[in-house]
Amino acid sequence: MEKLLQHWLTEQAEKQPDDVAVVMGERKLTYGMLETQSNRLAHLLKDRKCLRRERICILMPKSPESIISIFGVLKADAIYVPLDSEGPVSRTEKMIRKSRAKWILASGKVEHKLLKLLASDDLNSSISIGWMSLTPPDDTIVEKLDFTASDLQNYPDCQPEYRNRLEDPAHILFTSGSTGEPKGVINTHANDMHFVDWGVRYFGITSRDRLSCHSPLHFDLSGFDIHAAISAGAELHLVPPKINILPNLIADFIRVHRLTQWFSVPSVLTLMANLDVVQEPDFPDLKRILWCGEALPTSSIVYFMKRLPHVRFTNLYGPTETTIASSYYTVPKCPDSESEDIPIGTACDGEQLHVLDVNNRPVKNSETGHLYITGKGVSPGYWEDPEITNSVFLPNPFSADPTSRIYKTGDLASIREDGQVRFHGREDDQIKSRGYRIELGEIEHALHSLNVTLECAIVALPSDQIGSKIIGCAYVPVNGSPVESKDLRRKLSEALPAYMVPVVWKKMPALPKNKNGKIDRNMIIDKILNNASQTTENK
């Protein structure tokens, strides 16, 4: 049988059943407990006629139950689809429908959201719900449950037989889509296992390590945290969502849990540096800090490297479509200047980065071109969306294999004389904000759908953080409408996650146009930046 993602758990449970696998607050799961509970869940799902490659949504906060759910779904030959438990119902519903899921595994304070989702007759009749927490749900949702956690005790402890292969999907992660519809990126067992294998070797992760899991489950960085820890037999420490962006509490978390590896988006590290929460010296057990999702300002790197001389620092780069990361750069020494360039580095094992011109020819060193990625991390594409898949997953011109694909990232890059790749930003209307990849078109689509503006334009504004942007909105209210930015913000928050809601708003009598009659977004940016009366609403 081929080794799949769940086999790492089974192997560790056989070798070290009493060792701690997952920690969250006072709660701990041993490898034996995680193996047993996920096996029972897999048997239950199969008993309830869950079919191979069926999509099972996971709607719960990060918790031990969520980790059990992930491995139970994999062992049932199904595909897990992590959803944002705090995201807007309308967007969550789109993901459930697009994945054509028949199951939702739920836990935590999600009863109200479930009730709203099940208000649609077709979802109410087609979706089965499993309650994974031992804490019973509110009475409002009990009658809609197919099973509860107590039912798991009636199923076998042994690992069920499986038919999945390495090329089968392990999970679907939804990212922002320019048409207003989220795109479901497929990652296979092979995609994930290749990167995790490389990462565990390169970062030297062993059973003595204690890894953070800071990112939410619907963000691809969490996949590395989970599977790297399990494959190495290490401890996985789930960072409670309530401290996600509280620098002082994050620093305390690293100290108290004696973490050996911290992995997060750069905005978190920048906040920690800006608020000076790291003591000198600090974090004696920490061996490495990793970041991915956007650029980390060199000033923040200098801050950490001066205070933590015993720690190694690695920049990772890669879109969800190429599985967690495709390149890496470990900073060799503390930068001499805060203006020093920090590259995205060189390709991870089994990956290749290509910087090409408009005719798909390699550019010369130091010239800016379009960044493409090939290799073992490249996703099969977007779930049931062949048109968008074929627009960015292209035949690989560097391979004789007709099935080989190259992914067009939409990023601009150059290759330095030393072979390191530099990132130069986006070539389209997609931006990175707090590590999340956002299509500005999706925000515009949501705003238009409110029918309260004559015109609107979503723009990316410069940020103090290199490689990241602030989302701005210019709008013209419907004639006679008293709508203000606070009203639009509130309405958008019901349709979009918080990280996609514009921070800067500008009401205008009309949006400026260029000679072709199109909205002049550059002029809008200038007006927002230069107008002292602009309204800024900090999140």
DSSP string, 205-230: --TT-EEEE-S-TTSTHHHHHHHHHH
Beta partners for 147? 130
As assigned by CATH, the class of the 5-188 domain is alpha beta
Q: How confident is the model at residue 467 (pLDDT cuts 50, 70, 90)?
A: low
The residue written with tokens 């491995």 in the block is 71
- Given a cut of 80, is residue 138 above it in pLDDT? yes
* 482-533 per-position pLDDT tens digit: 888 999 999 999 989 999 999 999 999 888 876 556 678 888 999 888 873 3
Which token pair is 121?
């007759």
% of residues, the chain, pLDDT over 90: 74
Torsion 382-386-389-394 (CA) sign: positive
Locate CATH 3.30.300.30 in the chain: 430-536
How many C-beta atoms surround the C-beta of residue 470 within 10 A?
18
Nearest to 69, CA basis, from 77, 61, 80? 80
* Superfamily covering domain 343-426: Luciferase; Domain 3 (2.30.38.10)
Q: How far apart are CA 323 and CA 344, in angstroms?
A: 16
Residue 274 CB: number of other CB atoms within 10 A?
Answer: 15
What average pLDDT does range 145-174 have in this prediction? 96
Which residue, 178, 94, 95, 172, is CA-closest to 410?
A: 178
pTM of the model: 0.86
Using an 8 Å Cβ cutoff, are 352 and 398 in contact?
Answer: yes
User: What is the predicted pLDDT for the residue at 515?
Assistant: 58
The mean predicted confidence, pLDDT, of the chain is: 92
- At 32-86, the pLDDT tens digits run 999 999 999 999 999 999 999 999 999 999 999 999 999 999 999 999 999 999 9
* pLDDT at residue 430 tops 90: no
Residues of the chain with CATH 3.40.50.980: 5-188
CATH 2.30.38.10 domain range(s) in the chain:
343-426
* Strand blocks (E) in 12-122: 20-24, 27-30, 55-59, 79-82, 103-106
Structure confidence at residue 539 (pLDDT): 35
The rounded distance, in Å, linking the Cα atoms of 74 and 83 is: 16
Distance in angstroms (rounded) separating the CA atoms of residues 511 and 458: 11
Q: Is the dihedral of CA 216, 220, 222, 227 positive or negative?
A: positive
Task: Read off the pLDDT band of 442 (50, 70, 90).
Answer: confident
293 pLDDT tier (thresholds 50, 70, 90): confident
Q: How confident is the model at residue 537 (pLDDT cuts 50, 70, 90)?
A: very low
CATH architecture of 430-536: 2-Layer Sandwich (3.30)
